[in-house]
Structure 1
Amino acid sequence: MSRGFNKVILMGNLARDPDVRYTPSKQKVARITVAIGRQWKSANGEVQNQTDFVPVVLWGSLADICERYLRKGRPVLIEGRISVRDFDDPKSGQHRWITEVVASGLTLLSGGRREDDASPYPTGSSRGSFGDFGSLRDDKDFGDEFPMDISTLSEGDEDQPDIPF
């Protein structure tokens, strides 16, 4: 029998706050829904929009990160696998199927942040995920020694300093 491949990568925004619970064996589990929008042009040229809402399950430390840092509207990147399971619904007596993504990785993305929303992690900007801290060259404590400006070195200089990276 050949081996299969089941890998999912999702990027979207949380549709609602994470639902964090514990199993009877005290294992933390978080359930989130990731809203993923897509846009296309129909045959008659009209722009069409659709949003898919994908259920995601996170276990252990990923559930902990979810509980601490994620709120409705936050952008997130999820890596994981598709899981399909079935059960008998005790309320209706019907046999039901559930398709969800079981996360193996979680990346907190910058953006989508409201200004009035307090957050324990820094906001992003176009310069990187931790904002614009400015240039070290502007700091007066370094004087003329640091940081060295390697852009002024020309190619072929024999007396170039050894740079350790």
Structure 2
Amino acid sequence: MASYNRVVLVGNLTKDIELRYTPGGTAVADVGLAVNDRRKSASGEWVEETTFVDITMWGRTAEVASEYLGKGSPILVEGRLKQESWETDGQKRSKLKVICERMQMLSSPGSSSSGGRQSGESGGSQRASGSSGNDGSDRDNAGAAGRSAGSNATSTAGQREAQPTGDGPGYDDPDIPF
């Protein structure tokens, strides 16, 4: 039978990151992530629930996280679940943790603590969290359409021609699924 082990979490770090290295020189960091959930109770009141998750980051991901992130920093983590078991005073213990395979820094708007790299990645964080609704390929398509239409405008990386929004032609098409 096939198995699938994938976890995607968005939350805030519960403490500053302490970077350490294995004897082989590989960077490793154990961090805590607080993930908030808001739901309605049976009585109709909104209830806030926080889940704390242990996460292990390896290699360059751990180094970048320790350099740019601190307590309270919002991040998106993608990885896999792993169960750790150990014995303390003759009693067996275990816990689930997430092994981070991908981390995205999510800077909050107007944040005064965002460093150069963190603020530079905020565009990618919107795509990672699903708020922009595209994968960035429309940038390439828009540039190709502008060049093939014979426009004399120079196109550089990261720039594209203006696109209509909201009330422009083509947005009243009944075949659009939204």
What TM-score do you get using the length of structure 1 for normalisation? 0.69
The counterpart of 1:161, out of the listed 150, 153, 164, is 150
Say whether residues 1:97 and 2:86 are aligned partners.
no
- The answer for the alignment partner of 2:16 in structure 1 is 17
Q: Unpaired runs of 5+ in structure 1?
A: 131-149, 151-159
Question: What is the alpha-carbon distance in structure 1 between the residues aligned to residue 73 and residue 111 of structure 2?
Answer: 9
Asked if the contact 1:111/1:123 (under 8 Å) is kept, the reply is no
> How many residues get paired?
131
Q: Deviations over 1:55-108 (max 9, x none)?
A: 10011111111111111111100010000021123xx33221021000110111
Say whether residues 1:108 and 2:108 are aligned partners.
no
- The answer for the alignment partner of 2:119 in structure 1 is 123
Question: What is the alpha-carbon distance in structure 1 between the residues aligned to residue 17 and residue 56 of structure 2?
Answer: 10
1:61 aligned counterpart, secondary structure: helix
Asked if the contact 1:77/1:108 (under 8 Å) is kept, the reply is yes
Say whether residues 1:28 and 2:24 are aligned partners.
no
Question: What is the alpha-carbon distance in structure 1 between the residues aligned to residue 62 and residue 110 of structure 2?
Answer: 21
- The answer for the alignment partner of 1:83 in structure 2 is 82
2:44 aligned counterpart, secondary structure: coil
What TM-score do you get using the length of structure 2 for normalisation? 0.64
Q: Max radius of gyration: which structure? A: 1
Asked if the contact 1:74/1:113 (under 8 Å) is kept, the reply is no
Q: Tell me which amino acid in the other structure corresponds to 1:121.
A: R
> Alignment identity in percent?
32
Q: Unpaired runs of 5+ in structure 2?
A: 126-141, 143-148, 161-178
Asked if the contact 1:69/1:120 (under 8 Å) is kept, the reply is no
Q: Deviations over 1:129-162 (max 9, x none)?
A: 69xxxxxxxxxxxxxxxxxxx9xxxxxxxxx515
Say whether residues 1:62 and 2:58 are aligned partners.
no
- What is the RMSD computed on CA atoms of the aligned residues? 2.8
Question: What is the alpha-carbon distance in structure 1 between the residues aligned to residue 109 and residue 71 of structure 2?
Answer: 10
Q: Against the structure 1 CA distance between its residues 69 and 3, is the aligned structure 2 distance closer, same or farther, given a 3 Å change threshold?
A: same
Q: From the two aligned structures, give the one with the greater helix fraction.
A: 2
Q: Against the structure 1 CA distance between its residues 42 and 86, is the aligned structure 2 distance closer, same or farther, given a 3 Å change threshold?
A: same
1:62 aligned counterpart, secondary structure: helix
